[in-house]
Every structure is written in C-alpha cells, then in structure tokens.
C-alpha cells in the first residue's frame, strides 16, 4: 500500500551474432537549440558502416534534411570529412522561424537509417518581459506556476538557460524586466551582461534560488564591496551558504522563513499569516528539490523583505532555540531607476504551517508559492512594474477570484475543489501530475459568481483510476489562474 514509488532493476545478458548486412550507424550528431542567431547553422554527424556478412561495406551518402513547416523538406548532401564525420549546413533563417531537421545515412548496399527529427526556433521577442529559467529542474511549463496569480501570468517570453544559452546583451536588449529562476543551481552565470543591462536604467530584475550564490564562489562564504555585481546590483554585503544544513539529511528538511511587517514586498504575506500561521521553506515537498537555504548581510541602501532561520524545524514544528536569523531577501531601487530583488530561496517552495500544528502539511497548510501575495508575485509588483504590460492590477489580485483549497486532502475516493469567482465566468479546471502532464479536465464551462465546488474522483481523462501521489489542480478563468496541490491515497 501507500503512494511511494517502487523500482525494480532487472539485468540480463544477451549474446547476438549478426550474419547479414545492416544499415549504417549514426553514432553522434549535432543537436541544435533555439537561438537568437539568424546565420546559417552547422550540423556534424559521425557515421560508420560495416557488413557482418562479409560483403561490401561503407557509407555511400549522408543527407541533412530541413524544413520550416515540418511538411516540405529540403535535402543537403553532407560532406565526407574522411574520418567518419560528415558536415552540412542549414541556411540562415529570420527571427520567428521554426526549423525541423533530420539526418539520413545510406550505405553501399542501399541500407538506410535516419535520426529522429529535431526542432529549434530562431527566437523572436514578443513581450517586454522575460522569464529566464536558468536551471534544468523542469521544462517550460513551469513558468505558469512561478508566475501564477501575478500580472505577468501568460505575458512573458521564455528562455531556457541550459538549452538556449546565457542571457546575452542581445537577448536582454529586448526587455524592460527579467525574472530569473535558478532552482537547484544556475546553468549560466550572467552577472556581466545583466549588470550592464541594469546600468542602462529603468529596468526590473527578480533573481531567485538557493544555489545561485554558492555557484559564484564554490559555496564559500564571502564578503562583497563596491564594484561587484552582487554588492552593487543585488544589495548583498556578505553571504552565508546553506544555513539550513547542520547534519546529514537536513537538505530534505523544512526551514522557517519570516516576512517583514509593513514591508513593500512581504508585508501582505505577513498580514495573511497573522498570529495563526508560520511560513516554511519546503523544497522537497513542493518540487522534489533539496533545501540549501542561503542567508545574506544586506548592503547599505537596500532593504530586506524576508528573514530565514538556520537549521530545520524540529518535531514540534519550530526552529531550534539557538537558530540564527539571517536576511534572505534584499531589494532596492537604484539611482538610475532600475529595481532589483534577490531571494535566497526558491519562492515556489514556500508554504504555511499552523502554529499549533505538530508537523507541516496539516490543517494550516497553504501553498504560498502560487498565492497572489507570494514572494515571487510581490517581487514582480515591486521590481517589474506590472502596469507596463497593460493589465489592471486590481483585476488580478483584489477582485475576489480566490482559491479556497480542496477537501478532504489527502483523499480517497474523491475530493471537492472550492474557489470563488468575482463574476460569472467560463472556467476550466484541470489536474496535472508534478511533471506538468495533464491528467484530467474536470470542468470546462460557465459557472456563476460566488463560491463554486468541482469534484474530482481520481480518474484521468481516459476514465482510469490514477496512481497514488501528489497532483496539482489549476482553475483557469481567461488569463487568470489559481493553482493548488492535493494528495490521492489508495
């Protein structure tokens, strides 16, 4: 029983003797990713051929085929470099173009093999704002969770650091504001280009992640001064890496955060917590990531939005009595009009715990990472000036569109998802796996204003009962969306 995933590994050996001719083997080839560059792109491949039957062997031709509509393909003969490698070129394309391509190799016996079709685009900016996902943790759909209930939901361009490359000056020149998320660690260090972009003035930048600082210095605590990006632009005079980690296993534990009463960024969250809830940093539960919470000393001229306690909470749900409190959210407005926010934690991994709850995830649980007053949402309001995208802030945050959670949770066999609508609306309610795969659409149609209940019976779109585990549900009304989390137990 239980919802924990089990794995089995079965190993066996198989001896095979090849007696006939076979197609060439494409051992390696260039996989191109989305780029800003409109120039021609080189593709190389390593291709070999043999003939176990003893007959003639050798590669007769290697062809690079490309298309800009995935329908009509143009063939380019690849050049034999004489060392089992072959080279070809896809002509340059204009911004916004989509490109599909594959490679086909044929031997002297007319046996052929082809690669899977690869895809990339010539990037074209379509927004004034960029969501820069500078980590390999999840795919592009994750921006909808980080930006949920913010004015930038569905309004940003997306750039993947690991797959598209660094945030170059050419990329940044397209944007007024950038949200960078570095998750379990940044793929690129872009302090030079981002620093120069911020120095232009009137730009907004939100940077989050509990491994960004350590990646700069090899996880050695450092002090900083004038002339350094971390000091000048982020407002950090010193850093303290992995303040949660006191003993083996603490990377899987829960840490305590605290917003600041009346603060421009965290004040609304502090009011929500009031005297009945505490704020936790809980990466393992929310995203399946490790906890490497960082603390900082805030530089003069900057303000701190969140504090963090060293260690992890104990069995009573409280930080240790000797826990040290650190700043972890410096922000500020620069003299040239640029605004920056740094969060030494992943904002999507924040949730609440009732002050009388003996453990996390009980009756006082709320997923703060997607709340309208969450750390990311409030940082966007401060730094990126969401009114610039032409969206009425009151329409999204204070309009009565509210998620009330689901009950029971955990559940079996069914649960009711409750939410409030400010006006009669066309509503879609969907269930997703933690990997972002759609599991079920449980409502699609008009609902009246006020509180509504939608029931999920634990079935997917095909009518099959889903596996035990944690699922996400999303209530969508036009460009607005609210997201919650639930657990199905068998």
**Region 105-110 average pLDDT:** 97
Query: Can you give the three-state secondary structure of 469-484, one letter per residue?
Result: EEEEEEEEECCEEEEE
Work out the pLDDT band at 449, boundaries 50, 70, 90.
confident
* pLDDT recorded at residue 317: 85
Q: Decide: 342 and 297 in contact? Cβ < 8 Å.
A: no
pLDDT tens digits, one per residue of 20-36: 789 999 999 999 999 99
pLDDT at 444 over 60: yes
Question: Own/partner pairs for 353-359, CB < 8 Å, 24+ apart?
Answer: 353/277, 353/278, 353/280, 353/317, 354/276, 354/277, 354/278, 355/275, 355/276, 355/277, 355/278, 355/317, 357/317, 358/315, 358/316, 358/317, 359/315, 359/317
Q: Give the whole-number percent of the chain exceeding pLDDT 70.
A: 94
H or E element, residue 242 = none
Compute φ and ψ for 27, nearest 5 degrees: -80, -30
Closest CA to 367 of 260, 275, 277: 277
> How many other CB atoms sit within 10 Å of the CB of residue 246?
14
Compute φ and ψ for 132, nearest 5 degrees: -105, 100
Average pLDDT, the chain: 91
Work out the pLDDT band at 413, boundaries 50, 70, 90.
confident
> How many other CB atoms sit within 10 Å of the CB of residue 459?
16
Tell me the two tokens of residue 175. 């944007």
pLDDT tens digits, one per residue of 168-220: 999 999 999 999 999 999 999 999 999 999 999 999 999 999 999 999 999 99
pLDDT at 3 over 60: no
H or E element, residue 286 = helix 283-287
319: number of CA atoms within 13 Å, CB side? 23
pLDDT tens digits, one per residue of 214-273: 999 999 999 999 999 999 999 999 999 999 999 999 999 999 999 999 999 999 999 999
Work out the pLDDT band at 478, boundaries 50, 70, 90.
confident
pLDDT tens digits, one per residue of 299-308: 999 999 999 9
User: How far apart (Å, rounded) are the C-alpha atoms in residues 353 and 19?
Assistant: 66
Which domains, from first to last, does the chain contain? 25-121 (2.60.40.10), 129-397 (3.40.50), 402-488 (2.60.40.4070)
Q: Give the whole-number percent of the chain exceeding pLDDT 90.
A: 73
Work out the pLDDT band at 149, boundaries 50, 70, 90.
confident
pLDDT tens digits, one per residue of 349-401: 999 999 988 888 888 999 999 898 999 999 999 999 754 433 333 333 334 78
pLDDT tens digits, one per residue of 109-144: 999 999 999 999 999 999 999 999 999 998 888 888
* pLDDT recorded at residue 2: 39
User: How far apart (Å, rounded) are the C-alpha atoms in residues 53 and 141?
Assistant: 49
């Amino acid at each position: 029983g239980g919802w924990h995933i089990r794995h089995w590994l079965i190993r066996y050996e198989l001896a095979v003797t090849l007696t006939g001719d076979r197609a060439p083997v494409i051992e390696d080839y260039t996989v191109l990713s989305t780029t800003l560059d409109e120039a021609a792109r080189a593709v190389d491949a390593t291709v070999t051929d043999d003939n176990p039957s003893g007959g003639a062997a050798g590669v007769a031709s290697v062809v690079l085929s490309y298309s800009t509509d995935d329908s009509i393909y143009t063939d380019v003969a690849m050049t034999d470099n004489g060392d089992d490698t072959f080279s070809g070129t896809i002509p340059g394309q204009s911004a916004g173009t989509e490109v599909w391509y594959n490679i086909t190799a044929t031997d002297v016996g007319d046996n052929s093999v082809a690669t899977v079709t690869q895809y990339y685009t010539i990037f074209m900016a379509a927004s004034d704002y960029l969501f820069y996902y500078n980590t390999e943790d999840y795919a592009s759909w994750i921006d909808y969770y980080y930006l949920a209930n913010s004015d930038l939901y569905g309004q940003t361009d997306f750039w993947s650091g690991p797959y598209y490359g660094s945030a170059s000056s050419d990329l940044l020149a397209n944007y007024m504001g950038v949200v960078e998320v570095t998750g379990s660690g940044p793929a690129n260090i872009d302090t030079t280009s981002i620093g120069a972009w911020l120095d232009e003035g009137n730009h907004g930048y939100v940077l989050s992640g509990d491994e960004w600082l350590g990646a700069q210095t090899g996880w050695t605590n450092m002090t900083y001064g004038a002339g350094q990006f971390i000091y000048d632009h982020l407002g950090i005079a010193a850093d303290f890496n992995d303040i949660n980690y006191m003993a083996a296993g603490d990377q899987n534990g829960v840490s305590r955060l605290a917003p600041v009463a009346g603060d421009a960024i965290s004040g609304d969250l502090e009011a929500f917590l009031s005297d009945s809830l505490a704020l936790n940093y809980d990466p393992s539960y929310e995203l399946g990531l490790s906890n490497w919470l960082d603390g900082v000393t805030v530089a003069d001229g900057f303000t701190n939005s969140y504090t963090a306690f060293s260690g992890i909470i104990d069995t009573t749900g409280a930080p240790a009595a000797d826990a040290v409190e650190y700043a972890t959210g410096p922000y500020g407005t620069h003299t040239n009009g640029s605004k920056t926010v740094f969060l030494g934690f992943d904002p999507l991994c924040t949730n609440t715990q009732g002050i009388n709850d003996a453990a996390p995830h009980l009756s006082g649980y709320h997923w703060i990472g997607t709340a309208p007053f969450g750390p990311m949402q409030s940082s966007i309001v401060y730094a990126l000036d969401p009114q610039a995208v032409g969206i009425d802030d009151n329409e999204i945050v204070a309009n009565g569109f509210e998620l009330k959670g689901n009950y029971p949770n955990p559940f079996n066999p069914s649960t009711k998802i409750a939410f409030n609508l400010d006006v009669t609306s066309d509503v879609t309610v969907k269930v997703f796996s933690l990997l972002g795969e759609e599991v079920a659409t449980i409502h699609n149609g008009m609902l009246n204003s006020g509180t509504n209940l939608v029931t999920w019976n634990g079935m997917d779109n095909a009518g099959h009962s889903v596996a035990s585990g944690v699922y996400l549900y999303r209530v969508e009304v036009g460009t607005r969306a609210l997201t919650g989390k639930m657990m199905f137990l068998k």
